[in-house]
C-alpha cells in the first residue's frame, strides 16, 4: 500500500510556487520567505501579508476587538522585522459577520492602527466584505533602506542558533484564557499579555540586519520546532537545539504546572511568540546580543543551539536526542 505525502501547509506553499512559476525581474526575494523583496525605482521594498480568522486565530470570548487588531498588526510587523525592513504602509481586508457594530469595528481599527503607528506604519487602503465570521488580513510594505534582506537560506554549518526574548509565553497565555482563567491572575498575567499584546521585534530586526553579521533570520510564528526546521531546510542544513538553553518566562513553569502542561512544549510548538530566530558565527553572539539590547531596551538574546551539516532538527535534553522537526503549529494537520 502506498501513501502519498501529506497535503499540508508546506505542500500547499510548494504547489503555489510551481503554479506561480519563476519570479520575474525586479523580484529580489520571491515566495517562501517571511516577506517578498521588490526592486522599485531604486528602492528595495519588503511586502508581507498575514490573515487571521475568527475561530481559528482568535476567539472573541477572550480576545477584545482591540486585541485582535493588535495581534494581526503584530504578526505582520513581525514578518517585516524578520527581513530587517522599516515598516511604511499597510492595506487591510476586513470580513465581518452580518450586521457589523461600530463598537466592534472602531476598537479593532484602533488596535491595529495604534501598533502600526508606533512603528512608523500608516494604514493607507483596504476592502470590506460580509462573511460568516470575522477575518482580518493585512498586507504591509516596508523599506530595506541600507539593510541587506535577511533570508532563511543563509545559515552556515557551525553557526550559532539564537532567539530573542523568552519563548512559550503566548501559548501559555492562550491555554490559560481558553480554560476560562482570570487574565489578571499573577501567575498568568504576563503570559496573557504575551498572547493578547505581542511586541513585534521591529527595531531589533532592523539592528540585526544592519549589523551585517547575521547569516539567516525569520520570525517565530509557529513555534521554534517548526520555524527552525524551515530555516534549516531552506539553508540545506540541520539544527541541534539544547532544551536547557531555551529561554522561558519566569512565571511559565508555575503556570504550566497549574494547567498540567509542559512549558518547554509551549516554547517549541506553541507559536505566536513573534520573537526573532537568527543564525550567526558563534563569536558574533555577544556583539549581536548587545546590538539587540541597544535597539530595544531589555531585549534578551539566547543561543539555543547550532546549525549542523546533517539534515533534521533535533532537541537534546535529559531524555536524549529527539526529532522535533515540524512539530509546531500546522494549519492543515493530517487527520488522526
Ligand atoms: Mg514569518
Strands 43-53 and 122-130: unpaired
- The grid coordinates listed for 130 are 460580509
Contact, 149 vs 83, CB < 8 A?
yes
Closest C-alpha to 154, from 83, 93, 220: 83
- In the predicted model, is pLDDT for residue 328 greater than 80? no
Q: How far is the centre of ligand 1, averaged over its atoms, from the C-alpha of 270 (Å)?
A: 14
Kindly report which listed range (50-54, 287-291, 318-322) carries the lowest average pLDDT score: 318-322
Predicted local distance difference test score (pLDDT) of residue 336: 40
Q: How far is the centre of ligand 1, averaged over its atoms, from the C-alpha of 106 (Å)?
A: 27
Q: What is the mean pLDDT of the chain?
A: 93
Confidence class for position 13, pLDDT limits 50, 70, 90? confident
Question: What global pTM score does this model have?
Answer: 0.94
- In the predicted model, is pLDDT for residue 329 greater than 70? no
Q: Which helix (H) or strand (E) holds 122?
A: strand 122-130
Confidence class for position 301, pLDDT limits 50, 70, 90? very high
Percent of the chain scoring above 90 in pLDDT: 84
Predicted local distance difference test score (pLDDT) of residue 197: 97
Q: How far is the centre of ligand 1, averaged over its atoms, from the C-alpha of 87 (Å)?
A: 15
Q: How far is the centre of ligand 1, averaged over its atoms, from the C-alpha of 73 (Å)?
A: 13
pLDDT tens track for 214-266: 999 999 999 999 999 999 999 999 999 999 999 999 999 999 999 999 999 99
pLDDT tens track for 116-167: 999 999 999 999 999 999 999 999 999 999 888 899 999 999 999 999 999 9
Amino acid at each position: 500500500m502506498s501513501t502519498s505525502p501529506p497535503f499540508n501547509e508546506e505542500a500547499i506553499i510548494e504547489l503555489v510556487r510551481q503554479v506561480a512559476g519563476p519570479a520575474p525581474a525586479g523580484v529580489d526575494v520571491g515566495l517562501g520567505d517571511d516577506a517578498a523583496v521588490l526592486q522599485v525605482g531604486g528602492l528595495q521594498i519588503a511586502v508581507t501579508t498575514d490573515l487571521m480568522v475568527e475561530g481559528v486565530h482568535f476567539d472573541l470570548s477572550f480576545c477584545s476587538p482591540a486585541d485582535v487588531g493588535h495581534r494581526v498588526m503584530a504578526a505582520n510587523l513581525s514578518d517585516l522585522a524578520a527581513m530587517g525592513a522599516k515598516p511604511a504602509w499597510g492595506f487591510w481586508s476586513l470580513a465581518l459577520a452580518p450586521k457589523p457594530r461600530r463598537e466592534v469595528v472602531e476598537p479593532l481599527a484602533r488596535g491595529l492602527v495604534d501598533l502600526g503607528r508606533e512603528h512608523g506604519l500608516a494604514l493607507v487602503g483596504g476592502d470590506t466584505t460580509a462573511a460568516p465570521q470575522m477575518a482580518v488580513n493585512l498586507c504591509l510594505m516596508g523599506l530595506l533602506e541600507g539593510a541587506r534582506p535577511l533570508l532563511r537560506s543563509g545559515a552556515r554549518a557551525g553557526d550559532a542558533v539564537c532567539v530573542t526574548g523568552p519563548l512559550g509565553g503566548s501559548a501559555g497565555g492562550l491555554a490559560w484564557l481558553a480554560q476560562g482563567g482570570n487574565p489578571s491572575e499573577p501567575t498568568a498575567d504576563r503570559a496573557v499579555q504575551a498572547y493578547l499584546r505581542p511586541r513585534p521585534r521591529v527595531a531589533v530586526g532592523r539592528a540585526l540586519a544592519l549589523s551585517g553579521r547575521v547569516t539567516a533570520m525569520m520570525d517565530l510564528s509557529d513555534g521554534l520546532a517548526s520555524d527552525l526546521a524551515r530555516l534549516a531546510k531552506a539553508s540545506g542544513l540541520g539544527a541541534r537545539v539544547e532544551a536547557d538553553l531555551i529561554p522561558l518566562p519566569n512565571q511559565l513553569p508555575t503556570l504550566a504546572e497549574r494547567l498540567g502542561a509542559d512549558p518547554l512544549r509551549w516554547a517549541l510548538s506553541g507559536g505566536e511568540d513573534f520573537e526573532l530566530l537568527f543564525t550567526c558565527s558563534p563569536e558574533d553572539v555577544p556583539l549581536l546580543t548587545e546590538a539587540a539590547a541597544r535597539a530595544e531596551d531589555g531585549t534578551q538574546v539566547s543561543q539555543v543551539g547550532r546549525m549542523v551539516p546533517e539534515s533534521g532538527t533535533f532537541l537534546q535534553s535529559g531524555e536524549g536526542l529527539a526529532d522535533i522537526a515540524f512539530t509546531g503549529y500546522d494549519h492543515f494537520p493530517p487527520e488522526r
